[in-house]
Every structure is written in C-alpha cells, then in structure tokens.
A and B are shown apart, each in its own frame.
Chain A
Amino acid sequence: MTPTWIWYLNRATGIVALVLMTLTLVLGVVVQRQRRLPGLPRFGVVTLHRNVSLLSALLLVVHIVSAVIDSYVSISPLAVLLPFTSAWRPLPVGLGTLAVDLLVVIVVTSLLRGRIPVRLWRGIHWTSYALWPLAFVHGLTAGTDLGSGWALGIALACAGAAGVATALAWTGRDTNPADRAPAALAETTSALARGARVAVFRNR
C-alpha cells in the first residue's frame, strides 16, 4: 500500500489542473478577441495564457505520476498515453488519457509555433475545445469521492466559465479589422477636442 497522501496529491492536482485549464481557456478567448485585462497590456494577456497553461500541464504531470504509483487504483504506465488500457475504470481514465494526448500535441505545437505553419498550429489549437470536455468528464467519472459536494461545485463552476468563454469565442470577432481605424479616428478626435492627452499608446 502506498501512503494516502499520494491519493490526496492526485485528487488535489486533478482539481487544480481543471481550474487552471478553465482559466487557460478563458484567457485564450481574451487573447483571441484581442481584449485586455485591467492593468495588463495585450501581450501580457498572451503571456498569462501561456504561463497558466504550462502550469496546468505541470500539475498534470504530478497528477499522472501520482495516479500511476498509487496502489489503490491500478493504472499501468502504458495507460498514461494509450487510451482505454487502464485496469481501473478504463473508460473514464481513457478519456483523461485522450485529453493528455491532445494536450501534449497542443503544447508541443505551441512551443514550436514560430517554426510551423500558422494554419497547422491554429487547426491543432482549436482542438483545445475538445480537450476541455474530455478532462471535465474524466474528472467527474474517474474520481473516487465526488459525493462530498464541493468538488462537484468547483467542476460545475468551471463548466459554466468554459461554456460562456466558448460561446463568446465561436461567435467570432466583434469588429471587422477594416472598421477599427475609423473607430480609432473618431475616438482620438473627440479626445483631442476635449483636451485629453493622446500621446500615450493604448497599452498603458
């Protein structure tokens, strides 16, 4: 028998990883919609999106390693990458495995973003929207104690945030690029007429 803290570690990293993946998705939509967060320039949102996603990937490594070495559930090292080969709840664990496989591809292509065609990267990045539900269902079904309530609450809150963000992302950009310049012109003209300073660029 492995000590129980491994089980706790496994559960905690799983839950936090889901929260961080949700945050990554929301930040990704902020990037895609070219919006800003208070106090952050636009490139800061991009960096935050990347760093939060890498942090969630790191937590997933701990989550996976702890699941494999925990003797309470029987998950072979092979089942980490090959879906539906786990002895313990093959279907729920398999969904998590699929999510991990997708995640590896998304992280690797994002790290190589400058060296691969943008279209390839973007096509693969869209699969993030498949990754999140896989991870969500995995979290609800593979766990051993969902009953206590607060874990379910966190999961449902994440689902709500991810759902809203996804809906926003798929409705597309709110401005046509060709309409941005006239809008900026009107904005600056009225600012100068009021005597407001316009020397600062938008990202401050």
Chain B
Amino acid sequence: MQLIFEKSREGISQSILPVCDVAKYQFAPQLQRQTAPRLPQVSENELSRHYSQLARRSFGVNSGFYPLGSCTMKYNPKIDEEMAALSGFTAIHPLQPPRTVQGCMQVLELTGKLLCEICGMDDMTFQPSAGAHGEFTGMMMIKAYHRLRGDLGRTKIIVPDSAHGTNPASAAMNGFSIVNVPSAADGCVDIEALKSVLGDDVAGLMLTNPNTMGLFDKNILQITRLVHDAGGLNYYDGANLNAIMGVVRPGDMGFDLIHLNLHKTFATPHGGGGPGSGPVGCKKFLADFLPAPVLYHTCCALDFAAPPQSIGKVRAFWGNFLVIVKALTYLLTLGGEGVKQAAQNAVLNANYFKSLLEDDYDLAVPGICMHEFVLSLERLKKETGVTALDIAKGLLDCGVHPPTIYFPLIVHEALMIEPTETESPETMDEAAVCFKKLYKLAYKDPASLHNSPQTTPIRRPDEVAAARNLRLRYRF
C-alpha cells in the first residue's frame, strides 16, 4: 500500500486557518529553518481514505477475539470514550488555578480511593504513564525509602525468572542489581531458592500474583513475610490483577506497593501501544515518597502539594488524565459487585478455554488456572517441526489474534492465552475449533503452517532484513 507521502501532490492544501488578522512577525533569516519539512499535501478526502485503509489493515478487540496473554484485551466500553471526550475535561489547561479544576481533581481523588480499596493500599499517584513507568516509579520509592533510613547496603531486587521483562529493566534503571530466582516445578516461587538469596543486601521483591504462568502462588503469605523479615519491601506488578480484583487484595497478601495497568484491568483501550496509565499505590508508611504532587484537602477544596520525602516528578503535569476518566467511568459502571464478577468470569473463561484445548495441546503446568494459562508446544515442535510461531501465524488465517508467544521465558515454545471476561463461550468454542484444526494440520501438512498466514494483508515479513538494513523513515 502507498505511503501518505506517495499520495502527496504539490499544490493541494486544506482550508483550516483563517487569514492572519494581525501583522506578520518576521524572524531574522538565521533563526529560520532552511528548508520546509516535507509533510504530505493531500485533500481531506484523500487523508480520510488513507486512514480508513490503514484501519482496515489493523486488528483491534473490536475486530475479533484477542486472547493475548498478559495484556488483558477486554472490551473497551464506548461510554468511557464519550466521557473522556467531554469538553469539561479536554478543554482544561493543566496549569489552571486549582479552584477552576476541582472536577479534574475529584476524578483523581475518587479513582484513587476506589483503586486503593480494590488493591488494599492507602495512597496512590496517577503520574506514571504506563505499567513500566509505574514500576520505575515504585522501584525509586523503594530506593528512597531505604536511603532515608540510612540503609545503604540494599542494592538488590529479587525478580522471579517468570517475570515480565519490564520488571528487571525498571529495577535496573534505579541502579539495582537483579537477582533472578527460579520457579519451582509447580510454576510458583521456589521458596528454598528465595531463602537462599534473602539478606541485608536485598531492597525488595517484584512479583506478579497470579504469576505469568497463570497460577496464584499459594505460598504468597510466606513469600512476603520472608522478604519483610529480611528487611526488604514487596512490590506487586499489577499486570495480572484482572484475575483477582474484588476477590483478594495485594495489600492483604503483604505487598507494600503496587502498580496497576488501567489499560488492562480497568478496560481503557491500548491505542495500538498506548496511552496507558500506570498508577502506583502504596501503604501509608511509603506515602511520603510518592511522586509530586499529590492531592490534599484544604478547608473547602482540593489542591496539589509535594509529599515531604517525594521522589519528585516522573513526567510533566499530573498523568494521562483522560485515561483515568475512562477508568473511573468503568469503575462506576461495575461497582463492587461488577468488579468481582469481572474477575471471576475472567478466571471462568480461562479455565473453560483451557479445558477445550488441553486434550490436544500440552499445558505448561496442569490444573486450575487463574485468568490465563500457558501451553507448551515443545512436543509438537519435536514431532512435527511446527513451532509456537507457526501456530500463531496459522491463527491469523482464522481471524483470531494469536496469544502471546515465547513468554514466559521459562516455558519452551510457549503460547500464553488470556481470553478475558468479555468473551462469550461461543467465541471461545469457535476459536478452539481453530486451535484444534491447526494442531491436526501440524501433523498432516506442517509445510502449510510454515507458510501461513496466507490471507492477511501481507505474508510473513523479513524481520532480519529489517534490523540489518535499517529503513526507519520514508526516503523521498
């Protein structure tokens, strides 16, 4: 398909701005750019069609089943979008006097209150713009906490080998060294391995529970107690909160701080890779370290102020505010009961879908799962040469978005599947038929899977060439 630059025609322009009604200001030549940027010159009709064509070559939750493990691709309610588009929010300048933005501040306060209750936390910041940004913020709070106590020897963060890649990366951005702990055979934290790395050099533990294998770690209380006893803090990666919200709270499990992914659990859309929102919640004893500013009540209104030991700002202004409006709309719709039902049905759907597949495919770990489960295609690969990637590409021809592949890293040929609560049993039944068909095809005609997809806008791209011969912009 043509790029917009290739559709550009000299002399085509749109009528958007009026004629300037004041005298032009002439900048000295040396202050001006030498050549004009080569932006597209297209009619509004052409522009509209171009993006309609691009939309047709994209796939969202609205296009079909999207069981992308760890990403919680649930339906994004339309009312949330409309509420975030209210001019009472979009037309508000971030530096208006507090008196004139009480509605925005109340959105932040109320959302924080609801989320703290769900997480079992006492305070929250909305400044982090995505999950990894939240992790970075939380890790910095742990660092600042130990520093203030003069406990300077705590330089290590423990991360299980099944963790998201953002966990070790966010900890390392804070100068921590990473201690990987292996998972036990049951997919949970190996308690003995954990004990062996705990000591007075440990700043904290990063954990997601349920973990990336889709299992709730039954030893969670023992794990968090061991870390606390060693003087460390427990950080909860909220990527998998969708399995447990309303059922069990990270704060009760012994976690001291947490980030949430509003763009996963709280139904705000992913936008093709953001904007997300990664609020960080914490227990009271850490609240003084939250990024600046936080909300506080004056006699009669809300205002911003920096907490006394604040780590500072992690971005400009107050966060991805409109995303927070969407999450609040969702929370008010669900209420206490709906939040719990969402989690329960996410778990129900995952177990149902798993039960449809487990006769053919091998589970990475057997038994009941939480909101997601992991298949290992190691045997299939050995017997047929068909890989996790091949099955993923085969699914594209079935109109199903493939699961997450090759993650978690501890499972060979992994397919990580998360249906979410908003899918019907019929949708999962149909998808299961596809999965089973591909499994059979792997034995009958593996070559056809190596050659899939066949029906998509492009065939498999040459990624090696892309990284070797860098073409990262259009060459005019």
- To the question of whether A and B form a pair in one complex, the answer is no
- What residues make up the interface of A, taking CB atoms closer than 8 Å to B? none
- What residues make up the interface of B, taking CB atoms closer than 8 Å to A? none
